[in-house]
Amino acid sequence: MDTPVIDTAKVEAFAMRAVGDVAAAYTGVMVSLGSKLGLYRALAGAGPLSAKEVAKRAGCAERYVREWLNAQAAAGYLGYHAVSDTYELSPEHAMVLADEDSPVYLPQAWNVPAAMWADESKALDAFRSGRGVAWGEHDARMACGVAAFYRNGYRASLVSQWLPALDGVVARLEAGIAVADVGCGHGHSTLLMAQAFPNSRFFGFDTHAASLAEARRHAAAAGAAQRVDFSAASAVSYPDHRYGLICFFDTLHDLGDPVAAARHAAETLAPGGTVLLVEPFANDRVEDNLSTVGQLFYAGSSLICCAHAISEGGTLVLGAQAGPKRLADVFRKAGFTQFRRAAETPFNLIYEVRR
């Protein structure tokens, strides 16, 4: 075999790209620290500030803060004014870094890669043995990071865009129906609907006890505990309340037997009921998913989604980039006849499914 000719320019270019990815990982740690220490909040809306002023506002040590500020300026997260030796957080960047209610707020999402690193030994064993890793076996930061990553996106779109995109569902919610949120996690999606539609009754189901405890805490804080019931049940065992709406928010692809989950939904729907399926954005072909969003979801799928599905028996391991055709096939096998893309975002595909 001939020795391949190495293009040194390509080697250097790719090495610098890899270094850029390492730098991005370092920046993620800085983002998490900045959020937890209140450094972004200290900068938000304040205009240019010196390191001393930022440190004082956040109650932190100036020398550490100055180095953090320089790291953030080098990453392009903050502006640096050399003449005044001050730092500034733009309003646009503040939406991503400081405004916890913004649909693009991201700092807590860095809990996910932190948990991935903490779980590296489990991942190595899973890859070598083929065994699964259940959701509850991950570092606790995993559930928190995933819930935070999706929460504000749901808040921005679920009630205002996704539910209205489903035929007749808003009117039924306003009149009063039973709603199941399967794989509800921390309950953010359940509570958004419960607060918007007080005449309906909401049931959140999950198998992860710690997430259910968080969901109940959120419900109590929102004053919605009387209209929302969070209980432990799998996607194939939750009780039949003749649901007018059954929701799968970024969870179907995590299940070991998604066809069985869809079949159980069919069996527990009220006549004329609807399934709302929200899945990570994906096209059907791998070559059409080779993007930043695909990079994010394929990596997460490797260590989270596929791992949990395998832990549940792995009858059909969809992964986070299942794509419309495979998802439609799941529901066709479960007896559904209507499968329609109702909406989409850069991160999610939203489907209306009916029998």
* pLDDT over 90 at 225, yes or no: no
Residue 222 has pLDDT above 70, yes or no: yes
- Identify the pLDDT of residue 354: 98
Residue 100 confidence (pLDDT): 92
- How high is the pLDDT of residue 129? 98
Question: Considering only CA atoms, which of 174, 162, 170, 167 is closest in space to residue 278?
Answer: 162
Per-residue model confidence (pLDDT) at position 2: 76
Considering the chain, what percentage of its residues have pLDDT values greater than 70? 100
pLDDT score at 3: 83
- In whole angstroms, give the CA distance from residue 24 to residue 53: 27
What average pLDDT does this structure show over 205-219?
A: 95
Give, rounded to a whole angstrom, the gap between the first and last alpha carbons of the chain.
58
Q: What was the pLDDT predicted at 1?
A: 65
Is it the case that residue 221 has pLDDT exceeding 80?
yes
Q: Is the pLDDT of residue 291 over 90?
A: yes
Tens of pLDDT along 47-83?
Answer: 999 999 999 999 999 999 999 999 999 999 999 999 9
Element (H, E) at 56: helix 51-58
Q: How many CB atoms lie within 10 A of CB 336?
A: 19
Pairing of strands 228-232, 201-206: parallel
Give Cα 246 to chain centroid, integer Å. 19
E runs forming strands in the chain? 79-81, 86-88, 178-182, 201-206, 228-232, 243-249, 269-280, 338-344, 348-354
pLDDT tens-digit readout, 229-288? 999 999 999 999 999 999 999 999 999 999 999 999 999 999 999 999 999 999 999 999
The stretch 312-327 carries a mean pLDDT of 97
CATH 1.10.10.10 range(s) for the chain read: 8-99
SS3 (DSSP) at 140: coil
**In CATH, what number does 110-354 get?**
3.40.50.150
Residue 110 has pLDDT above 90, yes or no: yes
Contact 317, 323 (CB under 8 A): no
8-99 CATH choice from 1.10.10.10, 3.30.1490.20, 3.40.50.10860, 3.30.950.10: 1.10.10.10
pTM of the predicted structure, to 2 decimals: 0.93
pLDDT, tens digit, 9 for 90 and up, residues 152-185: 889 999 999 999 999 999 999 999 999 999 999 9
CA atoms within 13 A on the CB side of 331: 23
Q: Are 185 and 208 in contact (CB under 8 A)?
A: yes
